Amino acid sequence: MKQEQVMVKQLLDWAKPNENIRTVLMTSSRANPYAFTDLFTDFDFEIFVDDLEAFSNDDAWLDQFGSLIKKVVLQNGNWRTRLVLYEDGTKIDFQVTTNDFVKHLASMPELPDAYDNGYKVLLDKDGITKGISAPSYMAYITKKPSAERFADIINSFWGDTAYVANSLWRDELYYSKYMLDNVIRFQYLQPVIEWHLGVKHDWSINPNKFGRWFKRYLDSETWAELERTYAGAGIEENWEALFRTADFFSRLAQEVGKSLGYEYPMEYEQKMREYLLKVKKLPQDARSFTK
């Protein structure tokens, strides 16, 4: 993996003498002083040019930064995207479009989130980036949920626990894991953990995508409680994980609701818990399958 100074120098040594390239920005985590970065952090470079066709048909320019392992080619309107990984481990997301976009960006009273989250001007041959607003680095800070959003997450979480219980009783491990470790964990538990962190940190942090930085922000006891919601392939241990997830979700959601003045539907939770226990206690010989 290349050090940032080395990578940026290599990029600019190529871009500066190239008359077609007018502006270069670095965005995402490496442009945000509040983000956590390490040797695996991607480089996100945006290259703005006069002639876009020069970057539409020939990708030989990518080879100068190293030996490629993979290249993903994307096109969205006037944007040409190349997602590349080099043999030395350097991963770069290149986005190329015309320099007119920089002029448009400079005319915006408010920055789009991708730039408000952070950007660095690496090259500006025409002096047009001076009009771009400074980033606030607040674009992806966790925001307070509305009462409606809060209620919907609570309702959906408890409703979907029934799918997990039913599939565990049926010995349908694959589907139960999908519901518990995909739908429930990421669609319902994740936002509640984010809101919990928002309350604890006065709604001033960004825990990143899919809970990437949860361990950095959660206290050790809460993190350990989250760890205990994971399970392997055994049906019984997945029953235990389901109930631990329910306990964890309930505790955090009630704390968030109290902080925001939102009512928590305890009666609904109790009825769903009774249902889960009822399913778990059903005898296995009650199962019957028809085609």
pLDDT tens column, 142-199? 999 999 999 999 999 999 999 999 999 999 999 999 999 999 999 999 999 999 999 9
- pLDDT at residue 2 is higher than 90: no
pLDDT at 1: 72
Average pLDDT over residues 31-58: 93
Summarize the confidence of residues 245-261 as an average pLDDT.
Answer: 98
Alpha-carbon distance of 178 to 175, in angstroms, equals 5
- Model confidence, pTM: 0.87
Residue 289 confidence (pLDDT) above 70: no
Return the closest-CA partner of residue 116 out of 100, 141, 134: 134
Split at pLDDT 50, 70, 90, the class of 285 is confident
Residue 175: Cβ-neighbour burial (10 angstroms; 0-12, 13-18, 19+)? middle
Q: Is the pLDDT of residue 97 over 70?
A: yes
pLDDT, tens digit, for every residue of 14-24?
Answer: 999 999 999 99
Mean pLDDT over each residue of the chain, to the nearest integer: 95
pLDDT recorded at residue 274: 98
pLDDT of residue 256: 98
As a whole number, mean pLDDT of residues 216-224 equals: 98
